[in-house]
């Protein structure tokens, strides 16, 4: 209960849920369970604010490209009404894995436990001159 009341990074806090529930309506969900909302009335600027409530950890890279475009007003219709056209060469969306066990670790990376290959160029390290 304490975690739900005060931690915004583990989903939405009680205050955020209350405020968004009072002013906005649910537009849709993505495959990760994130929920997307749009305000019922436009703001002073003349457009309706859009929100995402993450399912679990609040990590912006977990928002798929079609919902990202809708959240940032690149497209007007949400993906539930007008999905983005997928090209056959496109890969599926993957969130940022930095800091997890699934992070990219190239060959020779210290995190992978490897040794870096020796330099093969004409580079010579600088060393300061010895003064007596």
The number of folded domains in the chain is 1
Instruction: Look at residue 54 and tell me if it is in a domain.
Output: yes
Sort residue 62 into left (φ over 0), alpha (ψ -120 to 50) or beta.
alpha
The pTM for the full model equals: 0.70
Instruction: Look at residue 116 and tell me if it is in a domain.
Output: no
Instruction: Look at residue 107 and tell me if it is in a domain.
Output: no
pLDDT digits (tens, 9 = 90+) for 8-50: 556 677 777 788 888 899 999 999 899 999 999 988 888 899 9
C-alpha 68/C-alpha 72 separation (Å) is 6
pLDDT digits (tens, 9 = 90+) for 97-129: 888 888 888 877 877 777 766 767 777 778 888
C-alpha 71/C-alpha 52 separation (Å) is 8
Residue 73: name the closest of 54, 46, 94, 100 by CA: 46
| Six-digit token string for 131 | 């003064």
**38 is in which domain, residue-wise?**
2-101
Instruction: Look at residue 33 and tell me if it is in a domain.
Output: yes
Sort residue 84 into left (φ over 0), alpha (ψ -120 to 50) or beta.
beta
Instruction: Look at residue 13 and tell me if it is in a domain.
Output: yes
Instruction: Look at residue 125 and tell me if it is in a domain.
Output: no
Instruction: Look at residue 32 and tell me if it is in a domain.
Output: yes
Instruction: Look at residue 109 and tell me if it is in a domain.
Output: no
């Amino acid at each position: 209960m304490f975690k739900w009341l005060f931690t915004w990074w583990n989903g939405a806090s009680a205050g955020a849920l209350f405020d968004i529930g009072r002013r906005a309506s649910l537009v849709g969900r993505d495959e990760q369970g994130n929920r997307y909302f749009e305000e019922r009335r436009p703001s002073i600027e003349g457009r309706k604010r859009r929100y995402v409530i993450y399912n679990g950890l609040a990590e912006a890279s977990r928002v798929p490209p079609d919902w990202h475009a809708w959240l940032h007003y690149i497209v007007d219709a949400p993906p539930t009404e007008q999905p983005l056209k997928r090209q056959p060469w496109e890969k599926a969306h993957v969130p940022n894995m930095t800091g997890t066990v699934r992070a990219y670790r190239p060959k020779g990376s210290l995190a992978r436990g490897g040794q870096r290959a020796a330099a093969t160029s004409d580079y010579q390290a600088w060393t300061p001159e010895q003064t007596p």
